[in-house]
Structure 1
């Protein structure tokens, strides 16, 4: 399950594993004219999945399942303070493969304070009980009967000097993230991440800001059989964020990344990095979203350091009428497994969804997704087809 936290536009980002188009911004609060808001949302879906564990055809299981996703959000805005509480769960019950059942939960608490005209602070805490999307790791699990499940505690504090409309602005953030795996022998991936980020923005045009960013993160993994994945990650980036018109906005940066492992027998990763998110409103009823990213990721295989992932994707949303719309997206990624020169994974995803708004509180949609991973290692290949019928109920004040 993918929790999209910071959205720049109202475009409904498709639940593709790699399409997580976000902006480097603090927790965004919903806007209400009276400063207070309540939203209750209930999504339900009947899904057929041809390969629920994302394994080669000869090992695959197909199944149908019912998915229920309730969400409650409360926002309170005072004179110089904002608060937001979100609870969301994702519960799935499979028809035959009962061991694949899951119930995921998210509790998010956010607070923002304007201490003076120029100085503000933001705080965010999240507790997540979740599962990993099968096939998203470089680890091959042919005998899997239960999704990899974990719990996570996330805390972020940010100090900001200056406003977004100021000539210059400085943001300093501290992040602490603790993740613990619950099954499938992945205890060695239990980790604590402590991260410091600093960003300096400088306005170069009325609606364009350039920025310089430095990130330093220390990963502390659980030791297992004289093996530990502890490492330090550093990233230096130069970028620009713009919102030049109602039609075009974006955030693009390029830089250098380095991941250095404590164990000398693990191969370090360094090199070019980038992160781009661009939104284009062609007309009031058509929107495009594009992303591209190059990043290093810790491996989920024992005695292996990490790998490089390059990904890009495009999403298109079009409203035929006020009630009828289509949402379509494609994504491609390439994993270069630096520990093995003979293995490269390529992954393609396609999703399309047609939605009909029956009433202000009821939306019905049907969706189809296709996923294909091809690898130089044959047992890492898989294909899947998924068909979904969704009903979405929404209430707010």
Structure 2
């Protein structure tokens, strides 16, 4: 279940504000184990680990859309709480702060510098556990462009760091990237390429973090004024820092949206996901069917 809300405020030509709130009720896939204390085999649990999260975002933008220089300042708070299987030790609060400076070099092309910080606080860790609290840093350079030779995109490359509060944990420092490129061969058809490299919270009980690489391709097509479809495929690799566990992931999906009314859309979707791990018992397959309603006021 997902519920989101967005408010865009144009304070003046140079000042804009976007406020967002989101509530998500979801679950972890089978094969995710408790990260603190005794390792629990989630594959043996009668239900997957269920959780809910609340997120609040605010982005302040300074600079007119066509100005030589612009800046975005972003802040967010995320609260995740587990609801079953005695997984309260995984409850955590996250604070995000980042800023992006854009320098226009062509009418529709800008270079960018992004600096970001993310603090992760596990709120229910047992006293005897080695703390998983950490701070992540992000230093990225890149470019963004619009409608140049039928493409629109943002590419960012640089350095990412994960620094733990506990000396017993292994810190990380290495290359990271975030790429999002859209090619529009026709006004009614687009192809999106996304790829990234970043760290994620560990789930095994013996590791400190997971280094995740992803690449995805999506084709979106508007068949009529009311009917849209999306086809997507993705590949991923997860490297666990201490246990030498490596997971290869692949996924494919299809989505269909139909506009019943001007203010109401109905959606159907199917996703197939597979995980192939060098730890055989962590192999995983899932089939997810989705139904959605989208209403606009």
For normalisation by structure 2, the TM-score amounts to 0.85
1:179 matched to which residue of 2? 80
2:95–2:119 Cα contact (<8 Å) kept: yes
* Distance change (3 Å), C-alpha of 1:211 and 1:363: closer
The correspondence for 2:129, drawn from 220, 226, 230, is 226
Q: Is 1:376 aligned with 2:293?
A: no
**1: distance between equivalents of 2:257 and 2:246?**
37
SS at match of 1:110: strand
* Distance change (3 Å), C-alpha of 1:133 and 1:162: same
The structure, 1 or 2, with the larger RCO (C-alpha pairs under 8 Å, 6+ apart) is: 1
Deviates more, 1:132-141 or 1:291-300: 132-141
1:119 matched to which residue of 2? 15
* Distance change (3 Å), C-alpha of 1:286 and 1:158: closer
SS at match of 1:243: strand
- Deviation of 1:353 after TM superposition, in Å, equals 4.2
Return 5+ residue gaps in structure 1 as ranges.
Answer: 1-89, 91-104
SS at match of 1:200: strand
2:116 matched to which residue of 1? 215
- Map 1:61-210 onto structure 2 (within 5 A): 90=1, 106=3, 108=5, 110=7, 112-114=9-11, 116-126=12-22, 128-135=23-30, 137=32, 141-210=42-111
**1: distance between equivalents of 2:63 and 2:215?**
33
- Deviation of 1:279 after TM superposition, in Å, equals 1.0
2:25–2:52 Cα contact (<8 Å) kept: yes
Q: What's the RMSD between the two structures over aligned residues?
A: 2.9
* Distance change (3 Å), C-alpha of 1:143 and 1:197: same
- Deviation of 1:319 after TM superposition, in Å, equals 4.0
**2: distance between equivalents of 1:308 and 1:137?**
15
1:69 matched to which residue of 2? none
**1: distance between equivalents of 2:265 and 2:5?**
25
The correspondence for 2:173, drawn from 270, 277, 290, is 270
Q: Is 1:240 aligned with 2:143?
A: yes
The correspondence for 2:242, drawn from 316, 321, 339, is 339
**2: distance between equivalents of 1:250 and 1:171?**
17
For normalisation by structure 1, the TM-score amounts to 0.65
**2: distance between equivalents of 1:237 and 1:199?**
9
**2: distance between equivalents of 1:202 and 1:214?**
15
- Map 1:250-329 onto structure 2 (within 5 A): 250-322=153-225, 326-329=229-232
Higher strand proportion: 2
2:38 matched to which residue of 1? none
Number of matched residues? 289
Deviates more, 1:276-285 or 1:182-191: 182-191
* Distance change (3 Å), C-alpha of 1:196 and 1:381: same
CA deviation map 1:48-89 (0-9, x unaligned): xxxxxxxxxxxxxxxxxxxxxxxxxxxxxxxxxxxxxxxxxx
